[in-house]
Amino acid sequence: MLLASAATVLAACGDDAATIAPGSALTAGLAPGQWAVTIGDDESSDRVVSCLRSTADLKTMFERNLDEASLCNNERATAEGGKLTVAFRCEADGGRMSVVTEADYDAVSLEGETTITLQIPGQPDRAMSAPVRGERVGDCPSA
């Protein structure tokens, strides 16, 4: 998995407070429900299913692809006008990893790209990209 291999470079992540854009998924144009998101295009790509009830749930949809997501700082999670952006930043031992997903979406699908940039002291920055796809696959379980 692309994100997992990049995340292993950094052992811990920043602990700043997350900034999530307000608003419901319905008003953002994404249909609420279970969404399956895949980052990558080979057999090692994981398909992660998450419940989307509001724009704040966008963070959860993408952080489940990060090995150390519970330690990473979510800098942005927005869905407006058919454009979705979710960004995380992780830092450890002087190094930094940023993960930015940008995708076009409609009510029941999304397609775009995730870019991972590694900044390790004494080494040139490295960037890797992978396609991201998502689709609404059903209703959320009752709360």
What is the tens place of the pLDDT at every residue in 81-105?
A: 999 999 998 887 788 889 999 999 9
**pTM (predicted TM-score):** 0.76
Is 19 within 8 Å of 98 (Cβ atoms)? no
Residues of the chain with pLDDT > 90, as a percent, come to: 40
Q: Which residue has the tokens 């590694």?
A: 118
Residues of the chain with pLDDT > 70, as a percent, come to: 75
Beta-sheet strands, E only, within 3-140: 33-39, 47-52, 73-80, 83-92, 95-105, 109-119, 126-138
pLDDT tens track for 47-76: 889 999 887 788 888 877 676 555 688 888
Q: What is the bridge-based pairing of β-strands 95-105 and 83-92?
A: antiparallel
Least Cα distance to 67 among 9, 129, 140 occurs for 9
Q: Which pLDDT score is estimated for 90? A: 86
The C-alpha atoms of residue 143 and residue 45 are separated, in whole angstroms, by 29
